[in-house]
Structure 1
Amino acid sequence: MLDMEWPDSWRGSFRIELRAEAISLVERGWPILPGTVSESEGADWQYPTPAHADWQSRLGAHSRQVAAWFTGKPCSLLVATGTMVDALEVSGELGRRAASLLRVTGHPAPIVAMPNGRWLFLTASADAVHPVLAEHDDVTWHGRDGYVPLPPTPYRQGVVHWRVKPEIWGWRLPEAATINEVLVRALLGEHDDGTATASAAVLPPDDQRAATPSAA
């Protein structure tokens, strides 16, 4: 639900939490931005957009400036992609399969769940995405000049939340190639026991080619 529909006490507490999260991420070097709050829901769910038209020139702002952005009217919490963090967006079903494979390796990655049922796997920025992922309709790469919402951004049908928090990874973003490979394995139907329900070749990193990332 949108925070404007919450009781006044909840709205105040939630905005404090949102601002605190924004400041914490900025102090760790994440390129954080305030975004719009979407009133759409269901099939009409939309990404929030940056609150400032010149958002790219505002990246790297001091935490005091970020605190001011998140004080006052409702907003969403965005992270700009393509500089230090990228995001691979997938369906919840594919996300669960990939997350189970990651757990087997003992190296979790920061994972975000959105109210529309989609998941975001956060990685270090890269110049290319695996060709299998680039060609798959269920995968969207958010890279250069893009942005994605982070917890606890609110929507009418729910709140963006962490499936795996960054601190579990020690605040270190995994290499994109590692998550690319796991997502490809999940797409091919591999389970956490090592078995697969589909057969296809997983191309080595050297065969990766650049793909056009999503701008949002």
Structure 2
Amino acid sequence: MSAVTEGDMSPWATAIHQLVQWVGNGRTLTTTGQLRVADGLELVQLLGTGDDPHGGAGGQRRLSSSRNLPVLQGLLTGALEAGLLRTQRGRLIPVKKYAQQAATAEGVRRLLVANAHRSAQAALAPEAAPPDLGRVRLAALWAELARNRETPLVASELASMLWNTSAPGNGAIEQTQASGVRADERIEFDEVVSWVLLDYAHLGLVAMNADQTLVQLTPTGSREYDECLAPTAEASSS
């Protein structure tokens, strides 16, 4: 299983940094709030997204909307969700609050990682879950990855471990019985864990094999745990 080597920057974070730099002081959007086609095609080349310039239509058919450039749309969504960009009065503009971080690829990566942690914590606990369940499950996920830094973990077994991880004062079996959990809810949870791991893989924190059944911390992910997550977990438990 290939992993990101020491010092490598996530291509995803690098591309989002380049996107933010391209936006500069702002870019005009279409009346439907999309990037203009010409701008979208320029970004496909600039960022090397690999999107089909014909929008997947084949032949020489002209691209009708930048919405048909899925990788570019994913990068744009990532920048918006992380708070690096926003839309205002028909324009795509940078968020001044994060101007300093947005100036460097590493600063952008840190913002994206922070957003990934927030999203993962929310995703790992349903709305009716006990307080702190998402935080507890996220901590358990990273602790398990850190304990097995040299060994790839089976993603489905990792999901099973998280499913049975409970918030303080709530047994996993009691939670399951009380909520009437169905088999399809467990399947949905496995999918959520897969999405969480893929988000981290995009940021170079974990590496996954081609069929996404195995996962392992990268050197970058190990640093993230040792420098940021482990101290936080220790402070919370003390």
Q: TM-score, normalised by structure 1?
A: 0.28
Which structure shows the bigger proportion of residues in helix conformation? 2
Rg (Cα) greater in structure = 2
Q: TM-score, normalised by structure 2?
A: 0.26
